[in-house]
Amino acid sequence: MENKKQIKRRSNNYLTCAITGAERMSNKTYIANKAEKKGTTVEEFKKFYITKDAYKALKDVVQVHGLDAAANEYSKDRDTIKSYMSMNGRGRYTLPKAEETVASKEWKGLDIVEGVEVAQVA
């Protein structure tokens, strides 16, 4: 009888962070359930998987500076950043709040309509 080395195949159940490159072992059921919950395929889920720390850092950049700044910082396109945000975490992300500009009441083009200030367009 010959002793043959068994060639072990690498498991398909590794998740690799798309930002840091860090890997972690998982199991088939967990990955399949996550993909189903996000409404995508296992391959798509794996493609856009990022670690919790990477997600938090990305979320902070998006909340403070917006999607375009995050895309520039991570050298990814805007849709990829959106996919990272929606496939990880709780599926929600918030955009920075728009800065509210308050006009002076002395400004000539300002009207008050039903309690709401509206600038006249001439």
Longest dimension (CA), the chain: 99
The pLDDT of residue 118: 45
C-alpha distances out from residue 19 to 5, 12, 26, 58, Å? 36, 19, 18, 10
Amino acid found at 90: R
Q: Please state, rounded to an integer, the average pLDDT across all residues of the chain.
A: 78
Cβ atoms within 10 Å, residue 75: 7
Range 44-64 average pLDDT: 94
Question: Which two three-digit tokens encode residue 30?
Answer: 């967990």
Domain ranges in the chain are 14-87
pLDDT tens digits along 64-102: 999 999 999 999 999 999 999 988 977 555 444 444 444
H or E segment at 63?
helix 52-65
The pLDDT of residue 122: 43
